[in-house]
Amino acid sequence: MAMRQLHPETWVDSYADYLFNYAVARVNDSEIAKDLVQETFFAGLNSAKNYKGDAAERTWLIAILKRKVIDYYRKINSKKGRAEVRMSYSSGSESEGDWMEEQVADPFSSFENDAIENKELGLAIQDCISELPKKQSLVFTMKTIRGMSTEDICNELDINPSNLWVMIHRARTSLMGCLNQNWF
């Protein structure tokens, strides 16, 4: 198997939209999302020497962006940051292997201590998700936790993108209300 190479000169054209959509879905602010994507590209350039070629370039950039989103929430509210950690990296998720591989490659990671802190919050989030209307819960889980594409979700559930984003917005609003009441 040939080792993958990084091609930073193509990142903006190849990944900016994908990374922006990922970020804006998590921070709900397009300016902050743009800043996070820019920070991701800079961090990718600065740590390119650590890229071993095991993960696809986009997967590697998403792992960096996930850390940027977590750092953003930690700066504004440490509990929201821990919620993002739990939602993105709960045990048994398909992305756990890639994430753990990236953490091993990152000597500055503090992720190993978060698992213990996050157990109680993770249960609160799961309880709040279970309180959502069934379709909202399904859409939220598919998009935000499993990271499925808008197109795949719309095709699978036979809904249009506008309906999808309304359901996600309502789910997020309900989840924040639930978490504010039961956790924060």
Same domain? 100 vs 145: no
Range of the domain at 160: 132-184
Contact in structure between 148 and 98 (CB atoms under 8 Å):
no
Q: Which amino acid is at 103?
A: Q
Q: Model pTM greater than 0.75?
A: no
Q: Which of these, 30, 28, 95, 29, lies nearest to 66 by C-alpha position?
A: 95
Same domain? 80 vs 155: no
Report the distance separating Cα 36 and Cα 72, nearest Å: 8
Same domain? 154 vs 96: no
- pLDDT(142) > 80: yes
What per-residue confidence (pLDDT) applies to 27?
83
Residue 19 lies in a domain: yes
Residue 57 lies in a domain: yes
Which CATH number does the domain housing residue 159 bear? 1.10.10.10
What per-residue confidence (pLDDT) applies to 158?
92
Q: What confidence tens digit (pLDDT) does each residue in 51-82 have?
A: 888 788 888 899 899 888 888 877 776 554 44
Q: What confidence tens digit (pLDDT) does each residue in 97-113 have?
A: 444 334 444 444 444 44
Report the distance separating Cα 104 and Cα 102, nearest Å: 5
Q: What confidence tens digit (pLDDT) does each residue in 27-45 have?
A: 888 899 999 999 999 999 8
- Number of domains present in the structure of the chain: 2
Same domain? 84 vs 150: no
Contact in structure between 34 and 20 (CB atoms under 8 Å):
yes
